[in-house]
Structure 1
Amino acid sequence: MSNQQYIEWTTVQNTWINQYTSCAKEATTGKTQLVMSMATCRNFQETLSMMMQRVNPQLSPPEQPIALCSEYIDVQEFQINSKNAFSRLQTKVKKANKSAEKLQRAKDDWQQANQLVQSKQYVFVAIDIEAWEQDHSILLEIGWSLYDSKTDQYMDQHYLMNTYRHLTNGRYVSDQKLRFAFGTSVWCSLDQALKELRKDLDWCVQRDGGFVLVGHGLDSDLRYLQKAKFHWPGTNGNGDTLDVNQSALVTICNTDEMYAASIGNLHNPPSLGTTLGLFGIDCWNLHNAGNDAHYTMLLFMELIKKANE
């Protein structure tokens, strides 16, 4: 054995990055712009000057534009030889800027989620619903996982709809409804399951004034709940509402968008199982609503850790 001492590269890297991050200048605004070289601008200026002289010889020549920025990255050259070509390029720039703005919002939301966890003020509620693959209007399972940031405690719930006990998935997604790994599954009606969810949310609102929702592609689950006429608790004594955005909701944390923000790419975020694998989180029996809610919460906490690196 050598007496030579070693230090991990990631430790070296993180130490120096953290040391000098505050001193660094922003590398880019993140915006895409149409630019032209100064030589092209001068040629354009001469051409425009001749055109304007034909219109009115008394007109003054076009002024020299002032260059506001001389530092660009990833400069790509395009030949513009028609109005349509210019229009297509403008559309491309608009799309690029729209994507950049969306990515920045996702990064801001990721940091907001981190701040909410660190504030230790709210309960985070991860919800997952499994529908029958042959008719998505039929809900087979609902599960949710609670993380109480004040007490650093977790709780999982899983409910199966006894009305549809005879229905199973398996053709398009695996049938895992009897394999809840984090507690005891309860058979009941959909109404009773939703009442239990509402009880937990009411407790959150009564204690903290609101709750934070967590999900991986949560939009579909919220649509299921809306179709089921689930009433969300309101704030400060306000009435119940079918619209989650009008409820005591603090914010929604989408782990798929948080992961995309962490890698700087919102294009086709991976599935829950794939994302868990990327973080080295072992997972079993996904497509069980209770398990999916539990693993979504684990993924959420890993993304919070990454936000603090």
Structure 2
Amino acid sequence: MAAQNTQHQLRHAAAWSNNVNHYTLALDIEAYERDQSKLTEIGWTIDNVNAPQISHHFVVQENVHLRNGRYVPDNKFGFNFGRTDTLPLYEILRRLREDICSRPLLAMVGHGIAHDIRYLQSVGFSFSPGTKFFDTNNLYREFSASMQSKHKLQTILVQLGIPHSGLHNAGNDAYYTMEAFLVMCARGY
């Protein structure tokens, strides 16, 4: 039953990504490895078939001093697709909300997106009841007919033939999550 649901999601994702009226926002959040309640970076990429992609990367000002590197690589200042802005968390969330609200037909994409949603909810951010969510991990499981329940983003990128660098930067991860989503949508159905 789960595979059937995921297969339906891949078809739905493909239809969504090819509709000129629909937008897709890929989101990634990095947290401090020693205290997951402290968000350190937020990045997102917005895609529409008729417009150039837009990518954003923000470092949370309140936690700029917190560095990963013991358990997770620290690539906080290695954004490949534009500039990194260091802003207070409330301002980053305001900008995210603005990007979401200015695109009424929008779906959210993430790799393990449930974690990102929980991070945002923990700081008071909420989504509209009708918001659509796609998880690239689940989509890849159906796309590749894999029995594994989890796949690293890097593994998916390699398997899909997507060149990548600078993972564990929220902006880069959001960009590459979007690329994986679009490739699976194009090749899957």
Q: Is TM (by shorter chain) over 0.5?
A: yes
Contact 1:259/1:269 (CA < 8 Å) preserved in 2? no
* Equivalent residue for 1:226, pick from 98, 103, 121: 121
Contact 1:216/1:255 (CA < 8 Å) preserved in 2? yes
Within-5 A mapping of 1:284-295 = 284-295=165-176
**2:187 matched to which residue of 1?**
306
| TM-score, reference length from structure 2 | 0.96
**2:157 matched to which residue of 1?**
276
**1:127 matched to which residue of 2?**
27
Within-5 A mapping of 1:28-39 = none
| TM-score, reference length from structure 1 | 0.59
Name the structure, 1 or 2, with higher relative contact order (CA <8 Å, separation 6+). Answer: 2
- Structure 2 SS opposite 1:267: coil
Q: CA deviation at 1:268?
A: 2.7
Within-5 A mapping of 1:78-157 = 101-149=1-49, 151-157=50-56
Question: Once the two structures are superposed, what CA deviation does each residue of 1:264-297 show, in whole Å capped at 9, x if it has no partner?
Answer: 2342331001110111111111010000000000
**1:49 matched to which residue of 2?**
none
Q: Partners in 2 of 1:185 and 1:220 — Cα distance?
A: 22
* Equivalent residue for 2:88, pick from 184, 189, 202: 189
Matching residue's letter, 1:253: F
Aligned residue pairs, count: 189
**2:108 matched to which residue of 1?**
213
Q: Give the unaligned 5+ runs of structure 1.
A: 1-100, 235-245
Q: Partners in 2 of 1:196 and 1:184 — Cα distance?
A: 15
**1:198 matched to which residue of 2?**
97
Contact 1:201/1:211 (CA < 8 Å) preserved in 2? yes
RMSD: 1.2
**1:160 matched to which residue of 2?**
59
Question: Once the two structures are superposed, what CA deviation does each residue of 1:98-141 show, in whole Å capped at 9, x if it has no partner?
Answer: xxx10111001100111112222211000000000000000000
Question: Once the two structures are superposed, what CA deviation does each residue of 1:176-228 show, in whole Å capped at 9, x if it has no partner?
Answer: 000001011001101000000011011002xxxx3101111101000000001
More strand by share: 2
Q: CA deviation at 1:148?
A: 1.7
Q: Partners in 2 of 1:202 and 1:263 — Cα distance?
A: 33
Q: Partners in 2 of 1:199 and 1:276 — Cα distance?
A: 29
Q: Give the unaligned 5+ runs of structure 2.
A: none
Verify: 1:178 aligned to 2:77, yes or no: yes
Q: Partners in 1 of 2:147 and 2:13 — Cα distance?
A: 17
Matching residue's letter, 1:122: H
Identity of aligned residues (%): 33
Q: Partners in 2 of 1:283 and 1:299 — Cα distance?
A: 11
